[in-house]
Amino acid sequence: MLQFRDDPAAYRAFILEHQDRVFNLVLNKVQQWEDAEEITQDVFIDVFRKPEAFRGEAAVSTWLFRIAVNKCIDHLRRKNSRGRNLFTRLFSSLPEKQEPADFIHPGVLSENQEQAAFLFKALKQLPEKQHTAWVLSEMDSRTNKEISEIMDLTVSSVESLLFRARQNIRRILSGMYPGEK
């Protein structure tokens, strides 16, 4: 169904059609431009190499988003464990990548960047599933049904995740309120 091996033009057209949406989702999730680019490339490479994984049960875009979300989760887990692993820290030959203090999203107007930084900082503290559901719902404007297909959950589970995510974001932001310092 999605065989691109013999049709490079169709493959290129497929990438051009979906790359921006996949990239934006990944960028909102990993909050790092270079990592987002690499993960997006990985998503399309997977599509080329394993087209049989698409069984046609959902829309192609849903399938693409599912791959992207899973890759983001793997990436964030790897990144977190890299910081915790003693042996990796001892024997790592590569210098540790310095994280920017606050993620500045290129799609945010300059006058809103300070507020957006608070939002992205709060998002980082959310549990994985709540984070994914919230990004898909609030930043990518996906319906609960679409989110349930992407995350392989029931609609009621997504609703519950979103409810908890909204509560947690408010709680985290409440702790960041500069007026109380």
Partner 1 sequence: MNKEKWIDDIVKMAKAVQPVSSNPWMATRIEARLQEPVTINKVSLQWLMTTAAVMIFLVVVNITLLRKNMAEQPAASATVQSVINEYGWSNDDPYSANFSKQ
Q: Considering only 63-71, 91-99, 143-151, 156-164, which stretch makes contact with partner 1 by CB under 8 A? A: 91-99
Q: Residue 115 interacts with partner 1 (CB under 8 A)?
A: yes
Q: Which one of 29, 39, 44, 136 is in contact with partner 1 (CB under 8 A)?
A: 44
Backbone φ, ψ for residue 49 (5° rounding): -80, -30
- Residue 80's alpha-carbon distances to 18, 71, 83, 124, 179, in angstroms, are 29, 14, 6, 12, 31
Contact in structure between 157 and 164 (CB atoms under 8 Å): no
Q: Write out the H or E segment, with its range, that includes residue 168.
A: helix 155-176
> Under the criterion CB under 8 A, does residue 27 sit at the interface with partner 1?
yes
Indicate whether 87 belongs to the interface with partner 1 (CB under 8 A).
Answer: yes
Question: Which residue lies nearer to partner 1 by CB, 6 or 91?
Answer: 91
Region of 105 on the Ramachandran plot (φ > 0 left; ψ -120 to 50 alpha; else beta): beta
Q: What are the residues binding partner 1 (CB under 8 A)?
A: 8, 11-12, 15-16, 19-24, 27-28, 37, 40-41, 44-45, 48, 87-88, 91-93, 105-109, 112, 115-116, 118-119, 122, 138-139, 166, 169-170, 173-174, 177, 179-180
